[in-house]
């Protein structure tokens, strides 16, 4: 098997592991839904997938994960939560993978990449929620956006900023990052 096929298979395996983690990590906080919503455990493997496998895989895993989890376990509920979360996580996976490919491989850029991904993902989540609210004749206000995207998300934001760069740096040092500069 050539290196290109080997790299594709490794990306597929990493993406599958990240998708599986999206399914099981919420069980760690599922007994107390408010904590699960604050820590956003599904976001962690999606960010990792973007960093480790590149934007196409990050986008795909991000979009599929909440929809699959909703279909299998009933949480998140598809409308409006699961669908808006699918667009949010797809944005996380896409932006984190793309910027990691474009930025220099230095620690500060991992944080910059992560912060930009978080901001854009939350904006996309808000736009998706607003669009869904318009379609199903539901209310979604700016105050609801601020509460969902920022206020309630602060513990998760802190967790992600502490955990994800450490994992990425450790995997880089171990030579396990697959999103190489030669190609996504």
pLDDT 10s digits, 163-175: 999 999 999 999 8
- Residue ranges of domains in the chain: 3-173
Residue 21 has pLDDT above 60, yes or no: yes
Confidence of residue 38 (pLDDT cuts 50, 70, 90): confident
Interval 102-156: pLDDT, tens:
999 999 999 999 999 999 999 999 999 999 998 887 888 889 999 888 898 999 9
pLDDT the model gives residue 130: 92
Q: Which tokens hold the place of 73?
A: 């376990």
> How many Cβ atoms from other residues are within 10 Å of residue 17's Cβ?
16
The top-level CATH class assigned to 3-173 is mainly alpha
pLDDT the model gives residue 179: 53
114 vs 100: CA distance, rounded Å: 9
Q: How far, in Å, are 45, 77, 109, 158, 169 from residue 163 at the CA level?
A: 11, 27, 15, 9, 10
Is 45:61 a contact under the CB 8 Å cutoff? yes
């Amino acid at each position: 098997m050539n290196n290109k096929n080997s790299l594709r298979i490794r990306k597929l395996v990493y993406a599958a592991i990240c998708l599986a983690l999206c399914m099981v990590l919420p069980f760690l906080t599922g007994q107390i839904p408010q904590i699960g919503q604050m820590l956003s455990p599904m976001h962690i493997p999606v960010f990792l997938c973007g960093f480790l496998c590149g934007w196409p895989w990050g986008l795909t895993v991000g979009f599929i994960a909440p929809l699959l989890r909703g279909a299998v376990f009933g949480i998140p509920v598809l409308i409006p939560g699961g669908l808006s979360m699918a667009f949010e996580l797809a944005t996380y996976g896409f932006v984190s993978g793309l910027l990691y490919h474009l930025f220099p491989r230095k620690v500060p850029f991992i944080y910059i990449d992560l912060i930009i991904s978080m901001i854009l993902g939350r904006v996309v989540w808000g736009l998706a929620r607003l669009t869904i609210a318009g379609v199903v004749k539901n209310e979604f206000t700016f105050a609801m956006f601020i509460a969902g995207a920022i206020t309630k998300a602060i513990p998760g934001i802190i967790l992600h900023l502490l955990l994800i760069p450490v994992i990425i740096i450790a995997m880089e040092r171990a030579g396990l990052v697959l999103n190489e500069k030669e190609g996504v």
